[in-house]
Amino acid sequence: MTDALNWKPAAVPQAEPIDGRFTRLEKLDPARHGDDLWEALQGPAADPVLWDYLPYGPFTERAAFNRWLEGNAAGRDPLFYTVIDRPSGQAQGILSLMSIVPDHGRIEIGHVAFGAAMQRTPKGTEAVYLLGKLGFELGNRRLEWKCNNANARSKRAAERFGFVFEGVFRKHLV
């Protein structure tokens, strides 16, 4: 348990690559990752309900998808990572560190969009683990996962990853 009197604020993530056994996390780079992400998230084999609870998408035009990637790549909070499948080298999903509050030692994993090839696999689990591990290595005391209360898939995934349900934020966002 962290001694609150001796605790120091966390460091800010710098988007360095993170290698795992099945995946590699890299800072989102639309020029390098865009084609693979378009295929994984919007292509013919894409998950048809992927975008149901995200505040953007689906994208019917590649230009709009590219603008969305570019906007995400430019930000620091959320800080977007691309998930690369190590054997194939293909980008198969994205996720971010967000709501980064170093002074309070709080950080959140969000904007999770995994292509069908990553869902319910060791790759997806590892990607979340790698970002969570980084969050704690930076000195954070708390790692959060939020989702729409109706998003049963995200709630099950969070539970599988070890997150604990703490309640519902009513009227949190419009």
- Beta strands of the chain (E only): which ranges? 18-19, 23-27, 79-85, 91-101, 106-114, 142-144
Q: pLDDT by residue (tens digit) across 75-106?
A: 999 999 999 999 999 999 999 999 999 999 99
The HSE-up count of residue 125 (CA atoms within 13 Å, CB side) is 9
Q: pLDDT by residue (tens digit) across 150-166?
A: 999 999 999 999 999 88
Query: What pLDDT, on a 0 to 100 scale, did the predictor assign at position 2?
Result: 52
Domains of the chain: 18-161 (3.40.630.30)
DSSP 8-state class, residue 120? T
Share of the chain above pLDDT 90, in %: 89
Q: Whole-angstrom Cα distance, residue 143 to residue 40? A: 27
